[in-house]
Structure 1
Amino acid sequence: MRKSRYTEEQIIAILAEQERGLTTAEVCRRHGISSPTFYKWKAKYGGLDVSEARRLKALEDENAKLKRMLADTMLDNVALKDLLGKKW
């Protein structure tokens, strides 16, 4: 997946500008982002502060790692079953 050019802190600051009264179009124009990107960020980071966003990122990274570990284990399991199935 493509890495964002904005950090979580910057995204939260951009969302806060809109909450302070600027229009969504003005915020998007000022920061060079599209409206769909803004609303995607708002759905993900809306109402979070910086520490919560960092915690969310850490949990997402941990979840991805665990999913990779599970997939590797399942592949090993299938390979072992195939190996044992051919012998018997």
Structure 2
Amino acid sequence: MAKKLSAEEKMAIILEGLRREKSVSQICREHGISQAQYYKWRDRFLEGAKEGLENGKKSRVKQLEEKIEELEKVIGKQTIVIETLKKTVVHPGNGK
């Protein structure tokens, strides 16, 4: 089983590849990872850098969208509970 690499180790491997002093295949052999894994890490690294250069606006928007989705689910569940309680509560004057 391969050793789990830390974020710092992954970043060092990515930067090594971006410097182009060695081929990606050589770097991957030295670190015991596949080229597919390297490119997956590189793409995530570069996307994160892009978001960072955009002052984090994109990631903040995504965080807010996720929060809205979470709150909409809570509201939906509460609506179901309220409607269920309305049907089961005895109302004065309705004969129940």
Relative to the length of structure 1, the TM-score reads 0.57
The structural deviation recorded for 1:46 is 3.7
Distance in 1 (alpha carbons) for counterparts of 2:5 and 2:16: 18
Distance in 1 (alpha carbons) for counterparts of 2:32 and 2:22: 15
Partner residue of 1:11? 10
Which has the greater radius of gyration? 2
Preserved contact between residue 28 and residue 38 of structure 1 (Cα < 8 Å): yes
Larger RCO of the pair (alpha carbons < 8 Å, separation 6+): 1
Size of the aligned set, in residue pairs, is 74
CA RMSD of superposed structures (Å): 3.3
Structure 2: gaps of 5 or more residues:
88-96
Partner residue of 1:29? 29
* Displacement over 6 Å in runs of 4+: none
The structural deviation recorded for 1:35 is 0.8
Partner residue of 2:71? 73
Q: In structure 2, do the counterparts of structure 1 residues 44 and 85 end up closer, same or farther at CA, with 3 Å as the change threshold?
A: same
Give the residue type in structure 1 aligned to 2:31.
H
Q: In structure 2, do the counterparts of structure 1 residues 37 and 82 end up closer, same or farther at CA, with 3 Å as the change threshold?
A: same
